[in-house]
Structure 1
């Protein structure tokens, strides 16, 4: 699928002919942000790593998102995490997640990855007084953890967005934006420079234990490894189904407009900060390097939705941002995110030395940076019980094939909730 990122990326690497070794230390299944980050960390530690990707790099969620680098939770906050986990584990997870954006931008700098990286901060405006009070408390909680988070008043948010409907907002100064596909290509290139292997178009058919190791069989050959890491997000085909059926897949639609004028940029994004508000039917926007506006949404009816949702999102941006006209649509595309039942990331163990990680819950870039690091630590032999991401039993959701209906019902409810809030 064509996306804004495929149209504007640098040279795509080609790993379709990589010769696979008969043996390595770790096989990573999935060459998205999580898998490549884990592989890079292992390669830095001197381990022999092979990454097997079922399609081409960037075909999944890592290459089809909007490029927001947001170091927190979409559906949780520090107070929620502390209610769900023991205090020590909760604090460890919060510190890990809060440092997610810094981890991304640090890797980009260390590996010299050219991906339009802009650590300008991330802004979350509050819709309504109740949300404003909630974000003020959330900002204080992140501050107590040492994060560069502040609460802005309504006038400060207006100066950042040009919008007058918000009661205030949270700013995390460690957030920002990237070109996600170029970042992905850069991770793969960094891994290759350090001796790691990537093989595209190599779907894994089976993983079976043999002695103290694992035999991984793909369409491109068989590898014996000491450990295996599964990083396949929402996919449910083949071996990916071990994890993909444990969460709710969300079909998300993204779009980019034609470039907007400099006066508009100065009014709605003077510091080029990405924005995502608190409404149930989330409103987001950011700029790319050429001043295209990027936003997204979901569809009640998925049939023929890409262009339809793209046009609807462009119209919404024009209305929300007070644009003089609806900007022209450059391109629209779609991808799949996954939500875990408790909205927290999780680690699964499928056997001794065989782990998987899932649950970015709409915070894919920053969360995957940390999820990949935790998986790498597990492959290096660290104690799963000591990890900052909880180790959870593998439980497929009942009636998983019907979960898209749940997502559609949730969207309809979100739209109704926002309409009622506007009238209040």
Structure 2
């Protein structure tokens, strides 16, 4: 592929770049929300809608974090089943988690429709592809569990029928889940900022939070641009959680995910690669995920290109080679964008909302955050307002960590190398 000239900004920023908001910070607020991603903005909008004086602060430009660096895939909890997050948990607990995951999908669809958010949303379905032949049966069983536990519609796709989904021989069949969508992450973030402001929230960029200190019935939030006194604080920093919240930081594992975008492709080629314009991912441990751009003209492709972190230029070359493995017919086209962003993994593979030393939080999307983090931000706001009709399944006190982990995720390259090795062995032996 042609890699002679690409930008390291996310493709999504072409249409909806991050925003500077450099007005002086207020001295006080009812609630300070740390982080201007989907979770923080959702919480801010709901709180402000109900008369709360809300201030949102971000360390960088508004919308510069992982919310606008994602793939924009919108699920109703399928990934919890597909990644084994529910394995070993009591059936009642699994039912609760999946029920709220389904609710998160309904919530984001309702939010976009009711608020008329310009987010490029389409309900298109997702194809989960078998990386090796033996994975097909596993995917089929997972699809049955999804249907049983959540009521979503699942179709089995044997390899002989795969070209109806995508014209590739790289995979060995899979399943299609109809209840899956895709949106434009940059436009969605911008629409949520507009919504939060319409509701009365105030948003400020380039105000990194240095410390959060409780003093009696209020908090002092110290930022790089000044100090704010607040009755409540919500931390919605996910993969960018830092030293201001050390107890939270040692429970989330920041991991870079990388993506590329092709130049616009001929319509007839796009029709062969992805005729249904679906989201697509596979069954590798270090999975590939891909989708068409919302206008249907480009292929976007993501993965973790190596077991060690790399810059966007090196990652772009690596991902382009992987993309050609799946679709050799793309070899003559140009890569226009290569970017990365931090997702927050957790030790139990489940997202968490809750309270730590009086500070509320919603973090740990495990790479599945568009609908879920929108929902958990909303649920956190309902909790503060006292209007939630039931506890959220993700709101629990058991948020695990490990004694060997505090700040730096030194073990991520080791785990990633093991995943790459196992994926390679699976392919060799298939």
TM-score (norm 1): 0.89
| Distance change >3 Å, CA 80–CA 411, structure 1 → 2 | closer
* Structure-1 separation of matches of 2:84 and 2:246: 32
The aligned residue for residue 409 of structure 1 is: 414
The aligned residue for residue 8 of structure 1 is: 15
Q: Are the equivalent residues in 2 in contact too, given 1:228–1:379 (CA < 8 A)?
A: no
Superposition map of 1:176-187 within 5 A: 176-187=181-192
Query: Alpha-carbon deviation of 1:221?
Result: 3.9
* Structure-2 separation of matches of 1:6 and 1:324: 24
Provide, for residues 87-122 of structure 1, a one-character-per-residue CA deviation record: whole Å limited to 9, x for no partner. Answer: 444322111113333322322222222222222112
Secondary structure of 1:225's aligned partner: strand
Higher mean C-alpha displacement, 234-243 vs 89-98: 234-243
Query: Alpha-carbon deviation of 1:286?
Result: 0.9
The one of 266, 284, 290 equivalent to 2:289 is 284
Which runs of 5 or more structure 2 residues have no equivalent in the other structure? Answer: 1-7
* Structure-1 separation of matches of 2:399 and 2:151: 32
Higher mean C-alpha displacement, 171-180 vs 252-261: 171-180
Secondary structure of 1:335's aligned partner: strand
The aligned residue for residue 298 of structure 1 is: 304
Query: Alpha-carbon deviation of 1:30?
Result: 0.8
1:345 aligns with 2:351: yes
1:117 aligns with 2:121: yes
* Structure-1 separation of matches of 2:51 and 2:180: 30
Q: Are the equivalent residues in 2 in contact too, given 1:275–1:286 (CA < 8 A)?
A: yes
1:366 aligns with 2:371: yes
The aligned residue for residue 240 of structure 2 is: 235
1:204 aligns with 2:209: yes
* Structure-2 separation of matches of 1:345 and 1:198: 25
TM-score (norm 2): 0.88
The aligned residue for residue 420 of structure 1 is: 425
Higher mean C-alpha displacement, 141-150 vs 330-339: 141-150
Q: Are the equivalent residues in 2 in contact too, given 1:207–1:214 (CA < 8 A)?
A: yes
Query: Alpha-carbon deviation of 1:409?
Result: 2.5
Secondary structure of 1:81's aligned partner: coil
1:161 aligns with 2:166: yes
The aligned residue for residue 317 of structure 1 is: 323
| Distance change >3 Å, CA 381–CA 299, structure 1 → 2 | same
Q: Are the equivalent residues in 2 in contact too, given 1:70–1:176 (CA < 8 A)?
A: yes
Which runs of 5 or more structure 1 residues have no equivalent in the other structure? Answer: none
Query: Alpha-carbon deviation of 1:13?
Result: 4.5
Secondary structure of 2:220's aligned partner: strand
Higher mean C-alpha displacement, 135-144 vs 376-385: 376-385
After TM superposition, what 4+ stretches of structure 1 lie above 6 angstroms from structure 2?
382-385
* Structure-2 separation of matches of 1:202 and 1:150: 45
Superposition map of 1:378-417 within 5 A: 378-381=383-386, 386-393=391-398, 397=402, 398-404=404-410, 406-417=411-422
Query: Alpha-carbon deviation of 1:232?
Result: 0.8
Q: Are the equivalent residues in 1 in contact too, given 2:25–2:226 (CA < 8 A)?
A: no
The aligned residue for residue 105 of structure 1 is: 109
Q: Are the equivalent residues in 2 in contact too, given 1:229–1:379 (CA < 8 A)?
A: no
Query: Alpha-carbon deviation of 1:60?
Result: 1.4
| Distance change >3 Å, CA 87–CA 379, structure 1 → 2 | farther
* Structure-1 separation of matches of 2:80 and 2:312: 25
* Structure-2 separation of matches of 1:313 and 1:273: 20
